[in-house]
Amino acid sequence: MLSNPVTRQSLHPWCHACPLRRKRAFHPKTDAEIAFTAEFKTDHRRIAAGQEIIYPGQADAELFTLFAGWAFRYKVMQDGRRQILNFLLPGDLIGLQASLLAVAQHGVEALTDVEVCVFPRRKIWDAFVRMPQLAYEMAWLGSREENLTDENLLSVGQRSATERIASLVISLYRRAETLDLVTDRSFDFPLSQQQLADALGLSLVHTNKTWAKLRRAGLFTFGNGRLTLENPRLTERIAAYFERDLVERPIL
């Protein structure tokens, strides 16, 4: 659970002028849909990097939209080994599984300092009744997250270490593009080598060696927390990754 106090503030008026909604990643909403979202939303929180947004086994997890920052979903084995399931960027829905099941089956941790919009799980069914389109959008977002997890499973099961790193890098790059977070092929890349290893099913040593090999090959450069792809198309070919996350998607 969160060990630090969470900053809370009501930002309901922001739903009507939300800067995130204007990103090309998301399809536009009607005034009525935005008004309903503003009514459904109960809080806006800031959570520090490294803190839990949802912890494994949590029985009262709320539903969130990641407003700013990066987070990740994960599961931990009894001996402490961790698998990162997928990474979350602004606009992503957090906690759908936890809101519909009795308890959360995974954890969600803030990778950077984040801000989240909060929606109450106790009102989710009422929201579906009043706004059926919302139910469809949540199902769509759940399917999209499943697709991202499937891609990660393919990497862990079939791709080589080189292909795994290239695949994760190009996937995050393309997602960041839709959020206007890429400038001159460069974007903030807050992942540590250990987090890369936990996401890709590699040892830390193997991850470090493969990362260094790809940098020496000129695939990308990294400095001051920013990753620059020197040749995105080549990265895609190495990764055998041809997905595009450019389809406009819903945002709650």
153-211 pLDDT, tens digit each: 777 878 899 999 999 999 999 999 999 999 999 999 999 999 999 999 999 999 999 99
57: tokens are 């086994």
Q: What single-letter amino acid sits at 7?
A: T
Interval 183-192: pLDDT, tens: 999 999 999 9
Supply φ then ψ for residue 71, to 5 degrees: -145, 175
pLDDT at 42 over 70: yes
**Residue 2 domain-assigned (yes or no):** no
- What is the structure's pLDDT at 98? 65
- What is the structure's pLDDT at 205? 97
The terminus-to-terminus CA distance of the chain in angstroms comes to 24
Q: How far apart are CA 38 and CA 36, in angstroms?
A: 5
Supply the range of the domain harboring residue 78.
Answer: 7-133
| Whether residues 26 and 78 fall in one domain | yes
Mean pLDDT in residue range 219-245: 84
**Residue 28 domain-assigned (yes or no):** yes
Answer for the pair 119, 98: CB distance below 8 angstroms, yes or no.
no
pLDDT at 245 over 70: no
| Whether residues 107 and 190 fall in one domain | no
**Residue 26 domain-assigned (yes or no):** yes
Average pLDDT over the chain, rounded to an integer: 85
Quickly count: other Cβ atoms within 10 Å of residue 35's Cβ.
Answer: 14
Q: With bands split at pLDDT 50, 70 and 90, how would you rate the model's confidence at 6?
A: very low
Q: What single-letter amino acid sits at 57?
A: G
Degrees (nearest 5) of the Cα angle 198, 202, 203?
A: 95
C-alpha of 196 from chain center:
14
The enclosing domain of 171 has a CATH number of: 1.10.10.10
pTM: predicted TM-score of the whole model, two decimal places: 0.86
**Residue 165 domain-assigned (yes or no):** yes
Q: How far apart are CA 95 and CA 107, in angstroms?
A: 9
pLDDT at 28 over 70: yes
| Whether residues 91 and 171 fall in one domain | no
**Residue 43 domain-assigned (yes or no):** yes
pLDDT at 100 over 60: yes
| Whether residues 121 and 159 fall in one domain | no
